[in-house]
């Protein structure tokens, strides 16, 4: 039976890290200091571009380079208003990995990133989309189930594994969504994953810059408290967001109703309405993460929040994940020897 290093070697080689455990990009949280701390710990950090203004994003990239010599990625949200300004900056600054999220990137976006020397990762929600992204030049894929926090798709990780992971072997595939313990990791690796991504588990760490009240909300929450945003009609084509239930979630439903009415009266275009939605989430998330407004701010969290129970040093969390993963792999081996499975 193989070791963890054998199982995730493809992920190690692709990312250039000791452990292909990725810390997902979280807006207002995954800034230069936290990302560099993650990368310096031997796992893989990902800078969240969100909708940062170009000069701020440029500064964040430069600061990350100053704080770590290890590989890291930048996550660019294709539906963000500043995306068209952010991609050229990421390319100019030679960020080694560019991850496109929030939508399907254009072939020209992928080409620009690769021509600048970056390795490209894209999120895929179906086999056909995965194949199209690979055809356009994506070097690796990320499968993120709807259990995850923040902007989510409609399909659980269990289904994505069957739709994509089991069918495609031409590029490394990383998986995310609902992963909060190390015990799940070897099972996913044995299924063919090159590595895993976690986000929620890393929020209640000492190195994370989030407000103490934001972290405390995670510690108190149960898995069922992390719900997908209410979807009012289909006119706005809103991308769902998973966050902890609070007054901010209720206000989002009201916002959708008002935007639908404005659009029907011709006072807002479809694109303008969608931008208002993004502004709402960016602003409310900032108030929660940085100011501690946990009642009306956005508490973006995955369902794995139910596995979080205390604030820990980042290295302690990583050590626990690795220890639990090794223990579980040994347990799998023992079960095979006993012919239980």
Count of all residues that appear for the chain in the document = 341
Write out the residue limits of the CATH 3.20.20.70 domain(s) in the chain. Answer: 4-209+311-337
Residue 110 has pLDDT above 90, yes or no: yes
Class of domain 4-209+311-337: alpha beta
Q: What is the pLDDT of residue 63?
A: 98
- Mean pLDDT on 302-317: 97
What pLDDT shows up at residue 137? 97
| pLDDT classification of 340: cutoffs 50, 70, 90 | low
pLDDT confidence of 64, banded at 50, 70, 90? very high
- Residue 237 pLDDT grade (very low, low, confident, very high; cuts 50, 70, 90): confident
Phi, psi at residue 104, to the nearest 5°?
-90, 120
- Per-residue pLDDT, averaged over 256-270, amounts to 83
pLDDT reported for residue 230: 74
- Rounded Cα gap, residues 338 and 180, in angstroms: 28
Mean pLDDT value across the chain = 93
In this structure, of 5-14, 252-261, 282-291, the range with the lowest mean pLDDT score is 252-261
Which residues, 6+ apart, have CB-to-CB distance to 96 below 8 Å? 16, 71, 72, 73, 117, 118, 119
**pLDDT tens across 29-45, in order?**
999 999 999 999 999 99
Strands (E), 87-188: 97-101, 119-123, 140-144, 150-151, 173-176
pLDDT over 80 (residue 94) = yes
Does the structure show a pLDDT above 80 at 101? yes
Q: In the predicted model, is pLDDT for residue 293 greater than 60?
A: yes
Decide: 191 and 169 in contact? Cβ < 8 Å. Answer: no
Whether 133 contacts 141, CB under 8 Å: yes
Sheet-wide strand order for 21-23: 21-23, 195-198, 173-176, 140-144, 119-123, 97-101, 72-77, 45-48
pLDDT band at 233 (very low <50, low <70, confident <90, very high): low
Q: Is the pLDDT of residue 341 over 80?
A: no
Has residue 24 got a pLDDT over 60? yes
Whole-number Cα distances in Å, 217 to 18, 75, 204, 310: 32, 25, 10, 11
Higher pLDDT, 102 or 123: 123
User: On the CB side of 123, how many CA atoms lie within 13 Å of its CA?
Assistant: 26
Long-range pairs, 87-91, Cβ under 8 A, ≥24: 87/112, 87/113, 88/112, 89/54, 89/57, 89/58, 89/61, 90/49, 90/57, 90/61, 90/116, 90/118, 91/115, 91/116, 91/118
Instruction: Tell me: pLDDT of 115 over 90.
Output: yes
Of all residues in the chain, what percent carry a pLDDT higher than 70?
Answer: 99
Mean pLDDT of 212-218: 97
Q: What is the mean pLDDT of residues 246-250?
A: 86
Residue 92 pairs with which residues in a beta bridge?
none
In which residue are the tokens 């690979």 written?
Answer: 134
Q: What pLDDT sits at residue 1? A: 60
Mean pLDDT (whole number) for 152-170: 94
């Amino acid at each position: 039976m193989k070791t963890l290093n054998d199982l995730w070697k493809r992920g190690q080689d692709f990312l250039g890290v000791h452990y292909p455990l990725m810390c997902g990009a979280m807006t207002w949280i995954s800034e230069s200091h936290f990302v560099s701390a993650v990368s310096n710990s031997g796992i893989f950090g990902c800078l969240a571009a969100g909708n940062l203004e170009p000069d701020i994003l440029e500064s964040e990239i430069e600061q990350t380079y100053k704080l770590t010599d290890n590989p890291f990625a930048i996550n660019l949200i294709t539906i963000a208003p500043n995306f068209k300004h952010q991609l050229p900056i990421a390319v100019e600054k030679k960020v080694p990995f560019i991850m496109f999220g929030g939508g399907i990137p254009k072939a020209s976006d992928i080409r620009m990133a690769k021509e600048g020397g970056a390795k490209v990762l894209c999120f895929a929600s179906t086999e056909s989309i995965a194949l199209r992204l690979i055809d356009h030049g994506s070097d690796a894929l990320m499968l993120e189930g709807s259990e995850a926090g923040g902007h989510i798709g409609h399909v659980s990780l269990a289904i994505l594994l069957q739709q994509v992971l089991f069918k495609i072997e031409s590029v490394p595939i990383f998986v995310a969504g609902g992963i909060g313990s190390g015990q799940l990791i070897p099972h996913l690796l044995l299924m063919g994953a090159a590595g895993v991504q976690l986000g929620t588990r890393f929020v209640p760490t000492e190195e994370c810059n989030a407000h103490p009240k934001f972290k405390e909300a995670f510690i108190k929450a149960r898995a069922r408290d992390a719900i997908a945003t209410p979807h009012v009609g289909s006119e706005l084509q809103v991308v769902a967001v998973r966050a902890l239930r609070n007054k901010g979630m209720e206000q989002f439903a009201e916002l959708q109703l008002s935007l639908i009415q404005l659009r029907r009266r011709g006072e807002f275009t479809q694109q303008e309405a969608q931008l208002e939605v993004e502004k709402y989430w960016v602003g409310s998330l900032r108030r929660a993460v940085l100011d501690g407004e946990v009642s009306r701010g956005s508490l973006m969290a995955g369902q794995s929040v139910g596995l979080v129970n205390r604030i820990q040093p980042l290295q302690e969390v990583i050590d626990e994940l690795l220890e639990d993963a090794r223990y579980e792999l040994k347990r799998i081996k023992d079960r095979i020897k006993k012919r239980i499975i």
